[in-house]
Chain A
Amino acid sequence: MRRKAILVVEDEPLVRAAAADFLAAEYDVYQAADAAAAMRTLSDKFVDLVFADVQLQGDIDGFELAQWIEINYPAVIVIMTSGVAPDRSYGEGPLIEKPYDLGYVRKRIAAALVGKRS
């Protein structure tokens, strides 16, 4: 059975690397520094879940990325995170506030992936 694949989208390299390293124990992990790179990864790789920051560098923010995923990759689960509490949410469950606890992130991802077949 294949391992499930997570795409971490985060423009802060240290934060992104920490999340990716932590999740790599259980999942195949891809990384993207901005939404455009995330979109390219989704087009090239099979991804089960995207864990994305709302605030991203470039002209596409995390919300727009999530909307793009919903249209083009509707079976890909999106969990969002943000350092500033925005007035809206998007994706699977409530937004995860930064700084986050990686253990909590792992639980949220595992719960979201329940029932998604390999």
Chain B
Amino acid sequence: MTNLATQTTYRAELLAAYEDADGNLQQASARTLGILGKLLSSPISGKRRHVIASAGARLDFSAIGDGAHNIRRWQLRQADQPVLSGGAAAAVDIPADLTPGDYFLDIEDGLTEPVPVLVTPREAYQPPFARQRKRTWLLSVQLYALASPENWGHGDFGDLLRILEICAATGCGGVGLPPLHALFEQQPEEASPYAPSSRLFLNPLYLDLSRLPGYSQILEECGETLQRDAALVDYTAVAQAKYAAIRAAYLRFSAELPAAQARDFADFRQRKGHLLRRFAAFNLLQARHGPNWRLWPRQWREPDDTRISALAHEAPEAIGVSEFAQWQCQSQLAACRDYARQKGMAIGLYLDVAVGSHPCGFDAWNDQDSFLQGVTIGAPPDALNVSGQNWGLTAFNPTALIGSGFKPFRDILAAAMEYSGAIRIDHILGLNRFYLIPEGASGQEGAYLNYPLRELLAVLAHESQQWRCLVVGEDLGTVPQGFREQLQAAGIWTYIVTLFERGADGAFRDPAEYPYNALSTFATHDLPPFAVWAEGKDLDTLHELDIPAGESMAKRLQAYSDLMHAIATHCPSARGTPFERTVALLASSGSAVLAVALEDIFGLRHQLNVPGTDREYPNWRHRTAVSWPNAKARLEQISKILRLRES
């Protein structure tokens, strides 16, 4: 049996040297190692011992640490229900059929407090279609960028419901979305869904206002100034109009308080507890004191629930509006989830989970023990980025994570899995190690820190089973040897991007060879849409931005020719436009799930995000205009090409 108790298997280690992309050994700077070492050795206050143990594993009492030596009796219980007990022993064998979940271990040795034990499953959830070796496809949609006739200049959950209706009618297995995490209400131009304020809450800009109470009056009051057919999302204007409308809806709601809805709202507040109140207070404090909580007055630099209660008493409306917005987000997104379930869609919603949150955001403020303060994550220098990359996102403190039984990680997963049939973990390599950069150091001065991969995978598998949610790990790039095998063993699916599936000679790999437990897609939001890629327009954009493209136009033309050759070879019966023939090629993919981008179907002419740029390119802003009848017709066309995937 394997001992999977966390206390004995993981030690935080900073890697003094690492191998770069070319296989050369790079030394981390002594200064950086010193700074990070000091941060990691800081004591974490008020944390209890927790144990993660896989069902069927042996839990060694020595893993629990001090005290658990002279054991007279022990008992494993779930809430108040004993499930196992015994006398003097050094270990307990957890039965393989014990239901995974949260337990407590009581040890009668006179010293040890009850120890929380998370019993985890052997692997993550595998949906029914996968157990039957069937295949399906998803429509991926950059929802914020959707320009529909109804929305207020920013895609919303009403659009999502309409898309789901079309998908359900055309045999599509679900809809893939970017992270829906809460961004910064006071800084709407900080629009990257991958740099959120909080991965625990939703972005109210996705609210379909027409579903809020008193919409017709709201429309009269707040809806006149928007340019709904603008080519780019105008986040400032959208935020101004939508938050004004949400506030108006809240005021109307609190004045009228319809009984059933008032009960729902009260239940929601109670369920979310002090965390929701803190989140609302955080938004208010940002409005008062600025975006960076590290610059706030001393008394607000840490959350204090007593002070927050006083704040809520002083400014009930501002707090109420934030809480109301989250309640409505939860309700509208849950309605989308429920619709997909009713229609029996193979997956339903496929949500993306960002790799970290913004250091100035709610998550970092709310739980200052669990996130490494003064440190961001990134990537070391390589041929394209000689200065390294700083993604400007927080990282978990692994020691604190273990001390809290991985609760912050579990909460982030649950916040996405609650609504989804599948999630994508961005940069899943982060479960194994992160390249950390202390604030004030350049991207070249980082160092790698290992993370408790085995325990994180066990926790991920547990949450996946709890929520019946498939997990796809974004595992692009160079990964350590054996990493993908570990993911596979944990039931985590791999992520395949066709554009990267090419041999040294440039030839595209036959998609039929892709592994079954995978989600494949032609490109990602960080790559050009098909129409842009096919013409090499993205290379012009990079040239204009003075960013090394790493590819010449001649190479691109060759790549396009290689793609057409792959279609002719592997999918000779393909007909239609180059994009439709490409879809036909992807339809032959061996992977269980294929994602097709709405932006590709509608021929978007701009790249949504150009990595390495900030304000010099309108990232996350290019809109895709759709009319619903046209969307239905196009989806039906695509679904005909993809029908062969159902076998």
Binding site for B on A (CB under 8 A): 36, 39-40, 42-43, 46-48, 68-76, 115-118
Find the residue from B29, B35, B39, B294 having the highest chain A CB count within 10 A: B294
Which residues of A sit under 8 angstroms from B588, Cβ to Cβ? none
Closest Cβ of chain A to B197, distance in Å, is 16
Instruction: Tell me whether B31 is interfacial, beta carbon within 8 Å.
Output: yes
- Please, how many angstroms separate the alpha-carbon atoms of A117 and B373 in the complex? 21
Q: Which residues of B contact A68 (CB under 8 A)?
A: 294
Shortest distance in angstroms between B29's beta carbon and chain A's nearest beta carbon? 7
Task: Judge whether B294 and A74 touch: CB under 8 Å.
Answer: no
State in angstroms the CA–CA spacing of A103 and B444 once bound together: 30
Alpha-carbon distance between A116 and B374 when the two chains are bound, in angstroms: 17
Does A115 contact B374, Cβ atoms closer than 8 Å? no
Interface residues of chain B, those whose CB is within 8 Å of chain A, are: 29-32, 35, 38-39, 292, 294-295, 373-375, 437-442, 444-445
Complex Cα spacing A74 to B375, Å? 8
* Extra pairs beyond A74-B439, A115-B29, A117-B29 (16, CB < 8 Å): A36-B295, A42-B440, A43-B292, A43-B295, A69-B440, A71-B373, A71-B374, A72-B373, A74-B35, A74-B38, A75-B437, A75-B439, A75-B440, A75-B441, A115-B30, A118-B442
Question: How far, in angstroms, from A117 to B295 measured CA to CA in the complex?
Answer: 27
Q: Give the chain B neighbours of A40 by CB distance below 8 A.
A: 295
The reply to whether A117 and B442 form a contact with Cβ atoms under 8 Å apart is yes
CA distance A117 to B442 in the complex (A): 7
> How many angstroms from the CA of A48 to the CA of B31 in the assembled complex?
13
| Contact between chains at B440 and A115 (CB < 8 Å) | no
Contact partner, B439, options A36, A72, A117, Cβ 8 Å? A72
CB of A116 within 8 A of CB of B445, answer: yes
CA distance A43 to B293 in the complex (A): 11
User: Residues of B contacting A74 with CB < 8 Å?
Assistant: 35, 38-39, 374-375, 438-440
Please give me the 10 A-B residue pairs with the lowest Cβ-Cβ distance, nearest first.
A76-B440, A75-B441, A75-B440, A75-B438, A73-B440, A73-B439, A74-B374, A74-B438, A74-B35, A117-B444
Report the minimal beta-carbon distance from A39 to chain B, rounded to whole angstroms. Answer: 5
State which of A39, A70, A75, A76 has its C-beta within 8 Å of the C-beta of B294: A39
Q: Which residues of B contact A76 (CB under 8 A)?
A: 439-440
Q: List 17 A-B contacts (CB under 8 A).
A: A36-B295, A39-B294, A39-B295, A46-B442, A47-B440, A68-B294, A71-B374, A72-B439, A73-B374, A73-B440, A74-B38, A74-B374, A74-B438, A75-B445, A76-B439, A115-B31, A118-B442
Complex Cα–Cα for A74 and B439 (A): 6
A70 to B34, CA, bound (A): 13
Residues of B within 8 A of A36 (CB): 295
- Please name all residues of chain A whose beta carbon is closer than 8 Å to the beta carbon of B440 when the two chains form the complex: 42, 46-48, 69, 73-76
Chain A, Cβ-Cβ closest to B372:
A74
Check if B32 sits within 8 Å of A75, measured CB to CB: yes
Number of A-B residue pairs at CB separation under 8 A: 58
Instruction: Tell me the bound Cα distance from A72 to B374 in angstroms.
Output: 4
Q: By the criterion CB–CB under 8 Å, are A75 and B373 in contact? A: no
A73 vs B180: C-alpha distance when bound (angstroms): 29
Find the residue from B375, B440, B442 having the highest chain A CB count within 10 A: B440
In the assembled complex, the Cα of A40 lies from the Cα of B290 at a distance in Å of 11
Residues in A whose Cβ lies below 8 Å from that of B441: 75, 116-117
Complex contacts, A46 vs chain B, CB 8 Å: 440, 442
A69 to B30, CA, bound (A): 19
**Closest Cβ–Cβ distance, residue B36 to chain A (whole Å):** 8
Q: Which residues of A contact B374 (CB under 8 A)?
A: 70-75
The docked-state distance in angstroms from the alpha carbon of A39 to that of B290 is 13
Name the distance in Å between A38's Cβ and chain B's nearest Cβ.
10
Q: How far is the CB of B446 from chain A (nearest CB, A)?
A: 10
Task: List, in ascending order, chain B residues with CB within 8 A of A42's CB.
Answer: 440
Identify the closest chain A residue to B390 (Cβ): A46
Give the CA-CA distance A76 to B56 in the complex, in Å: 49
Query: Once bound together, how far apart are the Cα atoms of A42 and B439, in whole Å?
Result: 10
Chain B residues with CB below 8 A from A117, complex form:
29, 441-442, 444-445
Q: For the complex formed, measure the closest distance between the CB of A18 and the CB atoms of chain B, giving whole angstroms.
A: 25
- Residues of A near B295 (CB, < 8 A) are 36, 39-40, 43
Cα separation A73 to B437 with both chains bound (whole Å) = 10
In the complex the two chains form, what is the Cα distance from A116 to B31 in whole Å?
Answer: 8
Expressed in whole angstroms, the Cα–Cα distance for A66 and B279 within the complex equals 29
Contact partner of B31 (CB less than 8 A), chosen from A39, A47, A75, A118, is: A75
Q: How far is the CA of A40 from the CA of B29 in the complex (A)?
A: 27
- For A72, the chain B residues whose CB sits under 8 A away are 294, 373-374, 439
User: A75–B35 contact, CB under 8 A?
Assistant: yes
A44, chain B: closest CB distance, angstroms: 9
Least CB separation from B439: chain A residue: A73
Identify the closest chain A residue to B368 (Cβ). Answer: A71
A contact residues around B38 at 8 Å (CB)? 74
> What is the CB-to-nearest-CB distance from B280 to chain A, in angstroms, rounded to a whole number?
24
Contact B442 A43 (CB under 8 A): no
| Complex CA–CA separation, A47 to B442 (angstroms) | 10
CA distance A19 to B444 in the complex (A): 29
**Chain B neighbourhood of A47, CB < 8 A:** 440
Chain A residues near B30 (CB-CB < 8 A): 115
State the Cβ distance, A3 to closest chain B Cβ, in Å.
13
**Which residue on B lies nearest to A76, using beta carbons?**
B440
Chain B residues with CB under 8 A of A39: 294-295
Residue of A nearest to B381 (CB): A117
Interchain nearest-CB distance for A62 vs B (Å) = 16
Q: What CA separation (Å) do A69 and B496 show in the bound complex? A: 42
- Expressed in whole angstroms, the Cα–Cα distance for A43 and B359 within the complex equals 11
Tell me the nearest residue of chain A to B446, going by C-beta: A75
Closest A residue to B294 using CB positions: A72
Min distance, Cβ B41 to any Cβ of chain A, angstroms: 13
- A40–B296 Cα distance when bound, in Å, is 10
Complex contacts, B439 vs chain A, CB 8 Å: 72-76
A75 to B390, CA, bound (A): 14
Taking the closest CB of chain B, its distance from the CB of A73, in whole angstroms, is 4
